[in-house]
Each structure stands twice: as structure tokens, then as C-alpha cells.
Amino acid sequence: MLSKINTAGLLGINAFHVCCETDIGDGLPGIILIGSLSGEVKEAADRVKTAIKNSKISFYPRKIVINLSPAEIKKEGCGYDLPIAISILEALGVIKSDILSKSMFVGELSLSGAILPIKGILPIVIFAKEMGFENIFLPYDNLAEANIVSDIKNFGIKNLKDLIEILNNKKIYSENISTQIPMKKEYSDFSDVNGQILLKRAVQIAVAGRHNILFIGPAGTGKSMIAQRIPGIMPNMTDEEALEVSKIYSVCGLLNSKEPILKIRPYRSPHHTVSPQALSGGGRVPKPGEISLAHKGVLFLDELAEFKMNTIEVLRQPMENKIVSISRVNASIDYPADFMLVAATNPCKCGYYPDRNKCNCNEVQVRKYLSRISKPLLDRIDITVETSIIRYDELKGDFNNTSSNEIKKYIEKVRQIQLSRYSNYNFSYNSEIPPSLINTFCKLKEQDDIFLSNLYEMKKMSVRGLHKILKVARTVADFNEHIDIEHDDICEAISYRSLEDKYW
């Protein structure tokens, strides 16, 4: 008898349909699995056979051929155990149900017959809904995550025996779990930060227009402290953004029943010893890296000059295209990478240049240290701001600093200006203005145009660098409530790129 059961696999952060076909016939007894399978999928034969036996179901040894199609896509992971088991049991006549063709099955089986949780359940449930399936049977521990998706019936099952009884209408399914709303994470507040007025201003401009920003200055001047507070002043994620980010975290196994969906913007801060693959994604079984985990949030690279050069160079393409492309022989996978880069670095190895009272590094050593940050990468950073040593009197007393909530309200106001301006376009931040529309949205007055033209020729700037200045000037103008870009706005934007001459 031939059986067909629907399931799904993962390719990147998206699911694809897999049909599990089982044929039981004459021949040498055994289970034969075909269909371009990884090692863990091939091992399913022994797991499934033992799980069925320990679920008190016996059958005579037969020749069982199982095909997972489409054969041109390699199947990875243990989520195929459950559909393989159901397909075998239907072919044997143990399961007789009218809903099998309308349902999808995913899950790993233990030898006892228990159904174990798998990674990536959220994109699979979303895909099942889009494909028109009415039901999806999945591990009980994945149910909270699956319940995020509405308009599809999610069955959280603990073991194979229960599932068989439910499908044969011998047991009524009862859901005894509710999706918990994750507690809102409280980020550290900007009111804790004394001094660094210029740095806080630059950060607000960067967040308002989603501009990449680099802090450079001596150790202990608050670079990391301020970076950690940036997610707390970013506009709230939309439902679509939250679902998109949650899919990435689901594939990486970073969601749980207590936090089945991310409601706050991600903040990722990998150590400077991170490998290129861990940063960009990939591996034998490709999965998202830190860049994609920071999607719609902040990627903070502390001690940027300490990163290996080949590691930080992988940032260049994602910063431009907002995707990470992983190419393999059998597939090419794109991971989303729309993040705000926040980086910090000391000006030299000892961290005190240009203070000659403390710094012993010569100019060659300083240049060598900062040369680890290449000019092409630096060109992709919109704002570079210098931090200074905080005076003692700035650390004492209550300075009534602006709180994160107050800053966030104003940033959201600037955000609404951009949403309104770009409502007819496929981008929504000033930093995303394409080159073809620069002259439309970043138009300058005649005298400012001449001023910027002279600077462009004198500094031998790149076109990308020029466009970065104009985009930042547009954000500064929005921040200053100017309809058009004023001279002060363009001067402030230029000042955020002036440190290249000093340090590089």
C-alpha cells in the first residue's frame, strides 16, 4: 500500500514542502530511505522503527521504501521522523483518518515514542498556513511558538501513541497551553549617561535615520555604555518586523515557550574573536549568523580594530544590500540583514592617542592599528564621532539627563516624517535613499551645493561618501524640523565624517 504524508523542510529561514511517500511490499525486510538525505535523516529508520515498537504497535518485517521528495533539495534535521512514522503506520493500516491529506506533520522521535521539539517551527507553521493546510501536528514543546500563527489548527503532541489515538478518533485532543506574552525587556536608560553631549546627539541622529555609526576615543569614555542603550530609543517593531525577526531566531533555536516571539529589537554584540562564518552565517548546515540575528536591530562591534580584517570585511555586502548570500553547491541561501551597525574602537593599541601624556604609540603604530578598518568599510559608515575623557565634575551630582523614553518619543516623531515622505516608495529611512533619488530628497540651496562641490573636489571623496553626507544632512534637517536642508544641517553632517582626516 502507498501512503503520502505532508511535511516541510527548511532552506534558510523559509520552509519548503516535502512529500513523504511510503510503499510497503514484498522483498528483503528493512526500511530504505531515499531522496537526497543527510546522515541524521537516514538514521530516522532506526529511530522510527524503535519508537513504533515502544508505542505498543507491532508489525511483521516487510520491505518498506520511503521517499522524501523533491529529491533535488537535500533534507537536513530530525523533523522528518514524525511524518515518516505516520506514513508507515498509514501504509500498514494502523492509522485511518480523513484529515491526513489536509494536515502537515513535523517532529523528532525518541526511542520511547516521545515527540521531541525541533528548531524552525515558526517558519514551518507560516508555510503550512500559506499552503492551505488546515492542521499541523507538531511537538508539544513547540506549541507556544506555533500558536503565534492564527487561522491554522496547531496540535501539540507529546508522544506517538497519543497521536495515533487522536487520528483514529479514539482520543479527543485538548490543548492545555496558552501563548505567553513575553515580558518587555528593560534596556539601560540614557539618563544614566553624564557628559558626552556630542556623542549622544550623534547617536540620536543615527537612530532617527538608521545610519551606521562608529565611536572612536580613549578607553573608558562610555562607548560601550551608550551602545547598550541604543535599542531602548529605537522605534518599536511592527508586527511584520517582529514575525520576520522571530523566524530567524526560531531557525536558530533561540525561541522558547516563555518567549515565543520577539517584541523588542535585537541587540547583538559578538566578541572580536568571532569567525567570518559565525558573523555572516553558513557552516556545513547553513544557518544565520550574528549579522542576521541583528536584523531590524543593532549589531554592536566593540573594539572594531581588534577584529580580524577578513571577518569585518564580510560586513561590506550586507551593509549595502541588506541581505547575506550563502552559496553552496546544491543551493544558494539569502538571509535578511537589515541592521544598524554600531562600532567602537580605540584610536591606538594603548587606547590614549592623541594624548601624548599617556600614549606612547608613534604615528606608524597608530596608522597600522587603524588600518585594520579598511577605507571601503569606513566609507559605508555614515557617522564617525569622537569620544573624550569625562571630567570629574561631569560624574558627580544629578544632571537631570534626558531619559530614553523622552529621546524615543522625539525619534519616533522624526520616524513619522520619513514614513510620510517615502510612503510611495519601497524604503522608509533616510539612510536607504537610492542614488537615483538623492537629488530629489536631498536637494540643496545653490550656495550649499557649491560649498559641498568644493569640499568633494578638495577631499577627493567617493560618490558613496558624498551620498552619505547628504543622507545624514536630510536626517539632521528632519531632527531640526527643517523642511529643506539648511546650511547648518549640511555642516553638521560633514562634521560627522571629518575624523577620517584626523585618524585615517
56-68 burial string, b = 16+ CB within 10 Å, else e?
ebebeebebbbbb
Alpha-carbon distance 316 to 133, whole Å? 40
CB-based contacts of 49, cutoff 8 Å, min separation 6: 31
CB 44, CB 33: distance < 8 Å: yes
Residues 59 and 200 in one domain: no
| Whether residue 288 has a cis bond before it, omega within 30° of 0 | no
- Give domain status of residue 184, yes or no: no
3-state secondary structure of 392: helix
- For 340-397, the pLDDT digits (tens) are 999 999 988 888 887 778 888 888 888 889 989 999 999 999 999 998 887 777 777 6
Same domain for 207 and 341: yes
Query: What is the CA angle 135-138-144, rounded to 5?
Result: 95
Number of domains in the chain: 2
Cis, bond preceding 83 (omega within 30 deg of 0): no
Is 350:359 a contact under the CB 8 Å cutoff?
A: yes
Q: Beta strand pairing status for 340-345 and 213-216?
A: parallel
* 470 shares a domain with 412: yes
173 domain residue, yes or no = no
Same domain, 138 and 211: no
In a domain, 375, yes or no: yes
Residues 150 and 247 in one domain: no
Which of 152, 167, 182 marks a domain boundary? 167
Helix, strand, or coil (residue 234):
coil
Q: Are 472 and 489 in contact (CB under 8 A)?
A: no
Q: Is residue 86 located within the same domain as residue 229?
A: no
**pTM of the shown model:** 0.89
Give yes or no: residues 86 and 195 share one domain.
no
Shared-domain flag, residues 157 and 233: no
Q: Are 403 and 190 spatial neighbours (Cβ–Cβ below 8 Å)?
A: yes
Specify if 180 maps to a domain: no
In this structure, the answer to whether residues 73 and 204 fall within a common structural domain is: no
Whether 200 and 159 share a structural domain = no
Is 182 contained in some domain? Answer: no
d(CA 106, CA 247): 16
Q: Where do the DSSP E strands lie in 305-378?
A: 323-327, 332-336, 340-345
| 3-class secondary structure per residue, 154-208 | EEEECEHHHHHHHHCCCCCCCCCCCCCCCCCCCCCCHHHCCCCHHHHHHHHHHHH
Q: Is the dihedral of CA 302, 304, 306, 309 positive or negative?
A: positive
DSSP symbol at 417: H
In a shared domain, residues 273 and 344: yes
Same domain, 200 and 64: no
Identify the domain containing residue 33 by its residue range.
2-167
Q: Which DSSP letter does residue 65 get?
A: E
Q: CB of 412 within 8 A of CB of 235? A: yes
Q: List the chain pLDDT tens, one digit each, 504 residues.
A: 789 999 999 998 999 999 999 999 888 899 999 999 999 999 999 999 999 999 999 888 889 999 999 998 999 999 999 999 999 999 999 999 999 999 999 999 999 999 999 999 999 999 999 999 999 999 999 999 999 999 999 999 999 999 999 999 988 887 766 545 555 567 888 988 888 889 999 999 999 999 999 999 888 888 999 999 999 999 999 999 999 999 999 999 998 878 888 989 999 999 999 999 999 998 777 889 999 999 999 999 999 999 999 999 999 999 999 999 988 766 788 999 999 999 999 988 888 887 778 888 888 888 889 989 999 999 999 999 998 887 777 777 666 788 999 999 999 999 999 999 999 999 999 999 999 999 999 999 999 999 999 999 998 888 999 999 999 999 999 999 999 999 999 999 999 988 877 776
